[in-house]
Amino acid sequence: MRTSGNVLNGFSRWWFPRSKARTLVVVYILRVMLPCVCADDPHIIHSPGQDTVKAFINISYMDRDTNTKKEEHFEGRYGKNSVIAKASGVVMHTLSLLNKSGISYTNHFGCTNYINPKFPSEQWIALVKRGECSFTNKIKMATKDHNATAIVIYNNESNTQYLPPMEHDKAIAGISVMLSLENGKQIVRLLNEGYTVHMHIVPGPDENLNAQAQNSISKTSVLFVSISFIVLMVISLAWLVFYYIQRFRYSHAKERLARRLVCAAKKAIAKIPQRTVKVGDK
Ligand SMILES: *[C@@H]1O[C@H](CO)[C@@H](O)[C@H](O)[C@H]1NC(C)=O
Ligand SMILES: *[C@@H]1O[C@H](CO)[C@@H](O)[C@H](O)[C@H]1NC(C)=O
Ligand SMILES: *[C@@H]1O[C@H](CO)[C@@H](O)[C@H](O)[C@H]1NC(C)=O
Ligand SMILES: *[C@@H]1O[C@H](CO)[C@@H](O)[C@H](O)[C@H]1NC(C)=O
């Protein structure tokens, strides 16, 4: 009885450790598994300083002299809270009035209502200069108040190396793109010469891919972690159930054995011839 009990005890201790040890093991497995999923992902590419998406901008117009379609390509950056999507339309350089110390200026800052004599009849893109008011103001004016498909804001300072990241209100969900002063001026020159300029804005392919990859990776990571968690839960549960079944069976067996022994002892005692001992017996 003693040996079988020891074997069972040893077995159960090895196979079904006490709850503290079990918790430790689960915590350890989680700790080891979770950081791997996130840190060792080879697909997450960090690009410091470039937290806006590249925008490829094509413009096309019919050249009057040669009567051929001409194309030009620029690179801009989507606003931080811009909708990252394709957009196309006819470009309109906006005209607004701005009152400054009593004098009213016609300008291209797009801060107040557009006063252009003629709006394009098809889908159009507002071309606006940076400055005088917030990006949010400009974007709202173009996409909300005037129903432009997108807004392209060209810089007010000559700096081809760096386009300032365009911060604006998330609530204004339009397509907004920042362009350099030089590129902006080039489009303005064509418009001033009376050309009808068509524009196509396409998200940069690399950033687009990265965004998609990151998206899918975060999804697979979440899926992996969830599945690991569920598996661990199931293992722990199975472990627990096993442990209690084993314990129940063991205690049951022990009880039965004890009962049998008691029975045997009683029988043995019954077999011993009984004799009443009296004083003086030898
Ligand atoms: C823009 O120009 C690039 C380079 O020529 C070309 O590959 C791309 O198809 C053009 N995109 C659009 C929308 O016209
Ligand atoms: C600007 O000021 C002029 C004259 O003071 C006024 O007629 C005009 O309505 C003002 N425009 C805006 C947009 O406030
Ligand atoms: C360009 O616009 C920004 C933002 O409105 C302003 O701070 C800056 O002074 C402007 N620069 C020039 C040269 O007008
Ligand atoms: C805004 O533009 C879209 C197409 O770009 C057009 O279908 C819609 O009718 C326009 N809405 C208004 C209020 O002009």
To test the pocket of ligand 3, the residue of 111, 137, 156 to mutate (highest count of ligand atoms within 8 Å of its CB) is 156
Question: Which atom of ligand 2 is least distant from the CA of 112?
Answer: 13
Residue 182 backbone dihedrals phi, psi, to 5 degrees? -60, -50
pLDDT tens-digit series, residues 113-164:
999 999 999 999 999 999 989 999 999 999 999 999 999 999 998 875 667 7
pLDDT bucket at 215, cuts 50 / 70 / 90: low
The finding on whether 98 has its CB within 6 A of some atom of ligand 2 is no
Question: Which tokens sit at 85?
Answer: 């999507």
Ligand 2 within 6 A of CB of 158: no
pLDDT digits (tens, 9 = 90+) for 91-123: 999 999 988 888 888 999 999 999 999 999 999
Q: Ligand 3: list residues with CB < 6 Å.
A: 130-131, 156-157
Mean pLDDT within 262-268:
87
Give the DSSP per-residue string, 81-126: TS----EEEEEEE--EEEEETTEEEEESS--S-B--S---SS-EEE
For residue 263, pLDDT over 70 is answered with yes
Give the Å distance between the CA of 147 and the centre of ligand 4: 6
Arithmetic mean of pLDDT over the chain: 80
Distance CA 165, CA 114 (A): 25
- Residue 221: pLDDT band with limits 50, 70, 90: confident
Better pLDDT: 90 or 29: 90
Among the residue ranges 3-7, 226-230, 246-250, the one predicted with the least confidence is: 3-7
- 167 falls in which pLDDT band (50, 70, 90)? confident
247: Cβ contacts below 8 Å, ≥ 6 apart: 12, 16
* Residue whose CA is at the smallest distance from ligand 3 atom 14: 156
Q: CA neighbours within 13 Å on the CB side: how many for 220?
A: 11
Q: Which atom of ligand 3 is nearest to the CA of 130?
A: 2
Fold for domain 54-204?
Glucose Oxidase; domain 1 (3.50.30)
